Chain A
């Protein structure tokens, strides 16, 4: 079945450490997104990418970095500069071809905590 796979499901970060969250999709979608969700809150956009080798900052990009070397992969690195990384991270993708707007598809998320 096609879908979005996020790994790991749970991740712990030590002080001063960078960690990378994986996001892989086999839906052949062009656009991919990273959102942060804090407890009881909505979604905030971190980074997004419409095509390979190109990405843009979202509303809360500071302390995060991404790459888009392959269409199906969009990893997110949470750097040591992100002082409050504890949150639920969601990856999403959607098709941007012609025609009616297509919905975003989401992965099952990665929960990041500080040790």
Chain B
């Protein structure tokens, strides 16, 4: 079946460092791809999405590009802040079907 794999955390960075969180997926077709963020004690919030190959999703300084050839959707940010500390989930979805979430990657940013 379809699946999403993320790099294991926790990821610990200093403020203003460059962030990459890897996400790869296994799917039989061409799903839409999403990144969600979860702050402590809260639900998940949509961070960005991409619906077809080579699309780039971006929001709040975060970016991810839908790479069909490598089945990847890596999350990047050029300069992280302490407020970016959270758990990040990669997910895929086909029209009309359930979402498939990755296991999440915890990010801690130190001042």
Contacts and interface: CB of A to CB of B under 8 A. Distances in A.
A103 B49 contact: yes
A42 B41 contact: no
B61 interface: no
A103 B89 contact: no
A101 B51 contact: yes
Given A106-B44, A106-B45, A101 B101 contact: no
Contacts of B31: 101
Interface string B78-100: 00000000000101011110110
A35 to B, nearest CB: 8
Give the interface residue-count category, chain A: 20 to 34
B43 A106 contact: yes
B27 interface: no
Interface of B: 31-32, 34, 36, 41-46, 49, 51, 89, 91, 93-96, 98-99, 101-104, 106
13 contacts: A42-B89, A42-B101, A42-B103, A43-B44, A43-B89, A45-B98, A90-B43, A94-B99, A101-B51, A101-B94, A105-B46, A106-B43, A109-B41
